[in-house]
Amino acid sequence: MKPLLRVLLIVDALTLLGFGVLFVLTPWTLLYNALQLVQAQPALVGQAFGVVLLGLAWVALRAAFDGAMTVPVARAIGHVNWIAGVLMLVWLIGLHTPQLTTLGQLAAGAVGIWLIVLGFGGARLGGAVRKRDRVLAAEAAMQAREAREAAKARRDEPVLYAKPGFLRSMPWGKARDTATVVEPVEPAVAPAVSPAVKPVMPEAPASSIAPESGATHGTTYSATHDTARSAAREEAADAPRPPLRG
């Protein structure tokens, strides 16, 4: 809506500029007679009023490009315009003062209606823009206050330190605790056996050496052993003996 209000201010500036130039030229009688207009008397009043209108035109044009002046100037000029339009309709058409021709009355009526429409439009539109700016400013202030309160709450929040078992509650901490720890295995040391003491193994009988199922193998082994012993005795008997000394 604010761009539309700026356009409306430019139109106000052009309107005020036209009327200001016309009133500044009040002493120019030929121009007023050609336009069938009534000159202001005395001419000084007309010229002074024209200067005021030119000043309002400059203010309206400045407000159209200055955002800080747009709303207040639009409302002020809007009220000035519709009040001036009502006065023109009352004096020139209602009271017929001053006396105008039919064409003059039509022109005065059209100008009065134009000023009323332009003035009401500027005033209402300026009020709507002002209300919207207030709502936006209130929302921005609320957001800023909420941000400050949140920052203050964060500053006042106590600092919580992690407990010793906090890391174990994390997934990677549990995996670390549940990992299998391989401990070194110490080799088993057999008890030392004294070399002087030798274990005496009982001699097993010959019958227990061979299994019952291998009787034939046991018999062959005994015969071979007896033959070897006999041969050893015979060689010992045949060997020469040393002479006896004595």
Predicted confidence at residue 149, as pLDDT, reads 84
Predicted confidence at residue 16, as pLDDT, reads 92
Determine the residue type at 214. G
CB of 19 within 8 A of CB of 53?
yes
DSSP-derived letter for residue 167 is: G
* Residue with tokens 């045949």, as numbered in its chain: 238
Determine the residue type at 233. R
Predicted confidence at residue 148, as pLDDT, reads 85
Q: How far apart are CA 117 and CA 128, in angstroms?
A: 16
CB of 49 within 8 A of CB of 41?
no
Predicted confidence at residue 215, as pLDDT, reads 44
Predicted confidence at residue 205, as pLDDT, reads 47
Predicted confidence at residue 214, as pLDDT, reads 44
Predicted confidence at residue 109, as pLDDT, reads 85
Predicted confidence at residue 207, as pLDDT, reads 44
Predicted confidence at residue 5, as pLDDT, reads 87
Name the stretches of the chain with pLDDT < 70: 159-225, 234-246
Q: How far apart are CA 145 and CA 154, in angstroms?
A: 14
Predicted confidence at residue 220, as pLDDT, reads 56
Q: How far apart are CA 1 and CA 132, in angstroms?
A: 10
* Residue with tokens 């200055």, as numbered in its chain: 66
Rounded to two decimals, the pTM is 0.56
* Cis peptide, bond prior to residue 42, ω within 30 of zero: yes
Q: How far apart are CA 78 and CA 119, in angstroms?
A: 4
What are the extents of the domains in the chain? Answer: 2-155
